[in-house]
Structure 1
């Protein structure tokens, strides 16, 4: 999907004008919704997102890719889960939370929410970071 492409809400066109939603906004909404799920340790982003976070800039769209299709949008989410959780259950909760958040906030038709589990975070890593 082209980064500059804007999603237009057909049903929101009125005499007052139209509503356009940037894909970056959808990425942020999906990223926050995924992060809220218990069992998600962190979102997985690219190298540039990691550098930006180390410099103090929070990237809520990290680990989320949005594609526009004929039947709606497809959201791909890459997550690192907490060791010991049931992966299928956490993935299903991520899908449900993202779909509900996007439908509530944007009214855009969601074709699919694909969850990619790309890592596991162990408790010992969390304890080391706290000390």
Structure 2
């Protein structure tokens, strides 16, 4: 990650504006899960198991460093089986950058995508586990 300047409030004639890091994390998480090929966000490897997280906690799997006018983002995801991972990662980078810059006005200097696992679709799992009738 690039070194960032300590965050400072934006001062307007009506007062100051401060966007919490958690807000930027949620924006990045939402932008990441919108990309086709993303099975879910990952909170990291805990005890050797990547934890899949749903829409309830989108800031998990996202780390941001915020400066006065710039930010850097790390996103940890689990990819869907069969998706071309470099294409998915590139789409995540573009979508996260666009969403943060549009909503906050901050310049996104980097979006690092960490693919921590691959998940199978639910329908495929259901077919594999359902008993066969002969």
TM-score by length of 1: 0.77
Partner of 2:62: 64
* Aligned counterpart for 1:88 among listed residues 86, 89, 98: 86
Partner of 2:108: 110
**Distance (Å, rounded) in 2 between the aligned partners of 1:101 and 1:60:** 14
* Aligned counterpart for 1:41 among listed residues 19, 39, 42: 39
CA 21–76 in structure 1, closer or farther in 2 if over 3 Å, else same: same
Partner of 2:25: 27
Richer in strand (by share): 2
**Distance (Å, rounded) in 1 between the aligned partners of 2:81 and 2:32:** 17
**Distance (Å, rounded) in 1 between the aligned partners of 2:82 and 2:25:** 27
Deviation at 1:18, TM superposition (A): 1.5
Report how many aligned residue pairs link the two structures.
116
**Distance (Å, rounded) in 1 between the aligned partners of 2:66 and 2:116:** 23
- Gaps of at least 5 residues in structure 1 are 1-5
**Distance (Å, rounded) in 1 between the aligned partners of 2:9 and 2:79:** 34
Is the CA contact (8 Å cut-off) linking 1:8 and 1:18 kept in structure 2? no
Superposed CA RMSD in Å reads 2.7
SS of the residue corresponding to residue 44 of structure 1 reads strand
Partner of 1:3: none
SS of the residue corresponding to residue 43 of structure 2 reads coil
**Distance (Å, rounded) in 2 between the aligned partners of 1:129 and 1:63:** 27
* Aligned counterpart for 1:79 among listed residues 72, 77, 80: 77
Is the CA contact (8 Å cut-off) linking 1:78 and 1:117 kept in structure 2? yes
CA 25–129 in structure 1, closer or farther in 2 if over 3 Å, else same: farther
Is the CA contact (8 Å cut-off) linking 1:39 and 1:82 kept in structure 2? yes
- Gaps of at least 5 residues in structure 2 are 1-5
